[in-house]
A and B are shown apart, each in its own frame.
Chain A
Amino acid sequence: DGGITQSPKYLFRKEGQNVTLSCEQNLNHDAMYWYRQDPGQGLRLIYYSQIVNDFQKGDIAEGYSVSREKKESFPLTVTSAQKNPTAFYLCASSYNRGGRSEAFFGQGTRLTVV
Chain B
Amino acid sequence: QQQVKQSPQSLIVQKGGIPIINCAYENTAFDYFPWYQQFPGKGPALLIAIRPDVSEKKEGRFTISFNKSAKQFSLHIMDSQPGDSATYFCATETSGSRLTFGEGTQLTVNP
Contact with B along A87-114 (1 / 0, CB 8 A): 0001010101001111111111000000
Contact with B along A31-61 (1 / 0, CB 8 A): 1010100001111010010000000001100
A43-B9 CB under 8 A given contacts A90-B43, A90-B44, A102-B49: no
Q: Specify which chain A residues have a CB less than 8 angstroms from the CB of B104 in the assembled complex.
A: 40, 42-43
Bound-complex Cα distance A58 to B101 (A): 12
A40-B43 CB under 8 A given contacts A58-B98, A96-B96, A99-B32: no
Q: Which residue of B lies closest to A59 (CB)?
A: B1
A40-B103 CB under 8 A given contacts A96-B96, A100-B32: yes
Q: State the A residues within 8 Å of B (CB).
A: 4, 31, 33, 35, 40-43, 45, 48, 58-59, 90, 92, 94, 96, 99-108
A99 touches B31 (CB 8 A): yes
Residues facing A in B77-111 (CB within 8 A) are 89, 93, 95-96, 98-104
B51 touches A42 (CB 8 A): no
In the assembled complex, how far is the CB of residue A29 from the closest CB belonging to chain B, in whole angstroms? 13
- Of the candidates A40, A99, A101, A106, which one forms a contact with B99 in the assembled complex, judged by CB atoms under 8 Å apart? A101
Bound-complex Cα distance A101 to B100 (A): 12
Q: List 28 A-B contacts (CB under 8 A).
A: A33-B98, A33-B99, A40-B104, A42-B103, A43-B89, A45-B98, A45-B100, A58-B98, A59-B1, A90-B43, A92-B43, A92-B99, A99-B31, A99-B32, A100-B34, A100-B51, A100-B93, A100-B95, A101-B96, A102-B34, A102-B49, A103-B34, A103-B44, A104-B46, A107-B42, A108-B41, A108-B42, A108-B43
Contact with A along B18-51 (1 / 0, CB 8 A): 0000000000000110101000011111100101
B9 touches A106 (CB 8 A): no
Q: Specify which chain B residues have a CB less than 8 angstroms from the CB of A43 in the assembled complex.
A: 44, 89, 101, 104
B51 touches A103 (CB 8 A): no
